[in-house]
Amino acid sequence: MKIAALQMVSTPDVTRNLDCARRLIAQAAAQGAQLAALPEYFCLMGRDDSAKLDRAEPAPECDADGGPIQRMLADAAREHGVWVIGGTLPLRCDDPQRVRNSNLVFAPDGRLAAHYDKMHLFRYDNGRERYDEGRVLEAGTAPVAVQCGTLRVGLSVCYDLRFPELYRALMNPPCDLIAVPSAFTQTTGRAHWELLLRARAVENQAYVIAPAQGGTHENGRRTWGHSMIIDPWGDVLGVLPEGEGMVLAEVDAQRLAAVRRELPALEHRRLG
């Protein structure tokens, strides 16, 4: 299956971001992709944390109609006949002062196939940069994997990448592909992004698709970009350093089977 990691430099304007996402999904489909993955916060990089609260949509379990962001994802999946891993969008929760940072997956017929809420919330302070997602986000509680055609896909988001136990939980049964839509900061991305992605691919013997935010945003934030696709041996199949665009690669079932057969590390686990 050909897959596409879509990279964006999202803005505070939801309409502009949705137009960009729709265009990238169309371009990926035109190049033969059967699965396209958007980055974290593809729909909104607000000027402050309150923007997430203002633009939050109802969870699909509560309102089948969702909202304009969810409708765009469903419509794009249906129009182009592709699986869409919808980056993340803010969904309302019981606490009116918080939202969930949610990853929704839509099938080629436009139906909602999976819903994962980011479990690990980022906090960082080096004296110059300060982030604390817990101020406005409520953490998710459960791992989620979804069958996307022939691929079993494990879902995760950005800071989840630093917690290998999440991915071990997703490997029963093993996933073929791990999705990591992200908006890594430039500081942490330069240091750890590729290192962590390749580690997750190698230790779980799975392909990894990592669509990212990549550039300087209108709110002043700078994200690391370097969207990439990695094979189960840890080889980087493609990378886009910065700016809007995509990375395309094939998930090769024979390659996946060979890696697991020649070095059956997943069978050798003693914990988890």
Domain that holds residue 120: 2-268
- Check if the beta carbon of residue 2 is closer than 8 Å to that of residue 207: no
Q: How do residues 204-254 score in pLDDT, each as one tens digit?
A: 999 999 999 999 999 999 999 999 999 999 999 999 999 999 999 999 999
Percent above pLDDT 70 for the chain: 100
Domain count, the chain: 1
CATH number of the domain residue 184 falls in? 3.60.110.10
Q: What mean pLDDT is predicted for residues 178-201?
A: 97
Q: How do residues 88-142 score in pLDDT, each as one tens digit?
A: 999 999 999 999 999 999 999 999 999 999 999 999 888 888 888 989 999 999 9
Residue 63 has pLDDT above 90, yes or no: no
CA distance 50 to 232: 39
CA distance 149 to 18: 25
Catalytic residue among 43, 158, 175, 242: 158
- Check if the beta carbon of residue 261 is closer than 8 Å to that of residue 16: no
Q: How do residues 68-89 score in pLDDT, each as one tens digit?
A: 999 999 999 999 999 999 999 9
Residue 118 is among the residues annotated as catalytic for this protein: yes
Residue 40 is among the residues annotated as catalytic for this protein: yes
Give the predicted TM-score (pTM) of the model.
Answer: 0.97
Please state the length of the chain: 272
Strand (E) or helix (H) holding 239: strand 236-240
Side-chain half-sphere of 40: how many Cα atoms within 13 Å?
27
| Phi, psi (degrees; rounded to nearest 5) at 25 | -60, -45
Catalytic residue among 93, 118, 148, 242: 118
